A and B are shown apart, each in its own frame.
Chain A
Amino acid sequence: MSTTSTSSSSRVRKGAGNSDDDSKPGPNRIICSLQSTGRIGKSTVAQALISWFGFAGVEFAAIDADGEHQTLSRWYPEIVTKLAFRETDDLLPILNQTGSMPAMLIDYPAQSTQSLLSAIAHFEAFDFFESKNTRLTSLIFASDERPAMASAAEIITTFGPRSDYIIVKNPARFQSDIFMHSQLPNMLAAYSAPTVEIGRITRTTLDHLDAEAAKAKKALTFREAEKLLPAGSVIELQSWRNRLFAQFEDVCDLLLPEEVDKRIDRPESLTTAKVDPYTL
């Protein structure tokens, strides 16, 4: 199955901080989620973003700030910088290199919202970001867990228009509509936050992936695992990735300073036809 190719069709958004002049690049981006809960898909989205940056040929930095799990750096030991966030000082290296690359992706640990907000306030980071032509893109996961929702509200209220936001839905993890029926979507609508949805991956494919990782005695990215998995699982992972890539392209203005040249082909997906049996 062909996974990716170059295409010219795209939807163009203009994110906050982006110039109205199309010829001028927008700000560099720091992309992260500061929400206080684990197992919501933060590292998985980070993996997908790294994969997309690789596909699109975009220079980036990726930081694994989760010193306990180190998920991202186990997947990409050669690419990801391990920089555990424990206290205010740990924001300094990030500030030191702000603005030196189009995208900086940070995978923060759970339960660190308060200390991160304090560190950002301590360094007056938003003023600094602005001086370095950089904007923060906060990923807000549509989690139905109370701590995740509370910390999302805290982040949006604290940052306001100084950050851009992307809502990340993960229906495999959260099946209720509690988030969408809360005040959070309205808060995010005020900042025109688009939505990205992580596709579902079947249990069988995930089990295959875990088994191969155990055999290899290392964490495998989806790309690495594809060389080892049965054909059906390979197709599923490729499709999963392509759907995410297409969504990243749609919100490109919030992830990168410029649109990417290399785009994926977007196959028409099958939609289930609705049939009224009484009309047959």
Chain B
Amino acid sequence: MRATWSEIAEEISRAGTPVTRQGVHVFFKRCKQREKRRGSSYALGTEPANAGFAAQLGTEASQKEGSSDPSVQPMTAIDKMIAHAQETTRIAKHQPNIKTHKPKPDEQL
């Protein structure tokens, strides 16, 4: 059962990428960046180091849904964490759309 961050870290490490409990989110962030560079869509389980991991974790998360244990994190929380990590990195820097302005007749700017 991989229900805590420590267990997730152990699982990833066993699969070939040594990570600590604190390093799990960085690992996922790197997965995501690699996927971006390759131009394919992101999906857990596509990395050699965590192949098959997503499906298993998803199953476990659904089983643990509603758990009162704060260390138990469902799949969606991981995705949110990755999204947050992306937002705060330079690679995913928010680049706003540039506003265009079509003046109204006789608009005084």
> A residues near B, CB below 8 A?
50-51, 53-63, 76, 79-83, 89, 92-94, 96-97, 100-101, 104, 221, 223
Instruction: Enumerate chain A residues within 8 angstroms of B99, measured Cβ to Cβ.
Output: 61, 79-81
Pick from A55, A59, A104: contact of B102, CB under 8 Å:
A59
Pick from B90, B96, B108, B109: contact of A76, CB under 8 Å:
B109
Number of A-B contacts (CB under 8 A): 61
Contact A221 B109 (CB under 8 A): yes
Instruction: Enumerate chain A residues within 8 angstroms of B109, measured Cβ to Cβ.
Output: 50-51, 53-55, 76, 79, 221, 223
Instruction: Enumerate chain A residues within 8 angstroms of B100, measured Cβ to Cβ.
Output: 59-61, 100-101
Contact B98 A61 (CB under 8 A): yes
Alpha-carbon distance between A60 and B99 when the two chains are bound, in angstroms: 9
Instruction: Enumerate chain A residues within 8 angstroms of B95, measured Cβ to Cβ.
Output: 89, 92-93, 96
Output the residue of A81, A92, A96 with the most chain B CB within 10 A: A81
Q: Does B93 contact A (CB under 8 A)?
A: yes
Instruction: Enumerate chain A residues within 8 angstroms of B103, measured Cβ to Cβ.
Output: 53-59
What is the chain B residue whose CB lies nearest that of A94? B98
Q: Does B97 contact A (CB under 8 A)?
A: yes
What is the chain B residue whose CB lies nearest that of A57? B103
Alpha-carbon distance between A97 and B98 when the two chains are bound, in angstroms: 7
Complex interface residues of chain B between 71 and 109 (CB less than 8 A to chain A): 90, 93, 95-103, 105, 107-109
Q: Could you tell me the distance in whole angstroms from the C-beta of B61 to the nearest C-beta in chain A? A: 36
Interface size class of B (residues with CB under 8 A): 10 to 19
Alpha-carbon distance between A58 and B103 when the two chains are bound, in angstroms: 7
Instruction: Enumerate chain B residues within 8 angstroms of A58, measured Cβ to Cβ.
Output: 103
Q: A53-B103, A76-B109 are in contact. Are A83 and B90 (CB under 8 A)?
A: no
22 interchain pairs (CB within 8 A)? Answer: A51-B108, A53-B101, A53-B109, A54-B107, A54-B109, A55-B108, A56-B103, A59-B102, A61-B101, A63-B98, A79-B109, A81-B96, A81-B98, A83-B98, A89-B90, A93-B95, A93-B98, A96-B95, A97-B98, A100-B100, A101-B100, A221-B109
Contact A97 B93 (CB under 8 A): no
Alpha-carbon distance between A157 and B25 when the two chains are bound, in angstroms: 49
Alpha-carbon distance between A76 and B20 when the two chains are bound, in angstroms: 50
Q: Could you tell me the distance in whole angstroms from the C-beta of B101 to the nearest C-beta in chain A? A: 5
Contact B96 A93 (CB under 8 A): yes
Q: Could you tell me the distance in whole angstroms from the C-beta of A176 to the nearest C-beta in chain B? A: 33
What is the chain B residue whose CB lies nearest that of A52? B109
Q: Contacts A81-B96, A93-B97 known; list 9 others, CB within 8 Å.
A: A53-B103, A59-B100, A59-B102, A76-B109, A81-B98, A81-B99, A82-B96, A83-B96, A101-B100
Alpha-carbon distance between A221 and B107 when the two chains are bound, in angstroms: 14
Alpha-carbon distance between A245 and B90 when the two chains are bound, in angstroms: 41
Q: Could you tell me the distance in whole angstroms from the C-beta of B100 to the nearest C-beta in chain A? A: 5
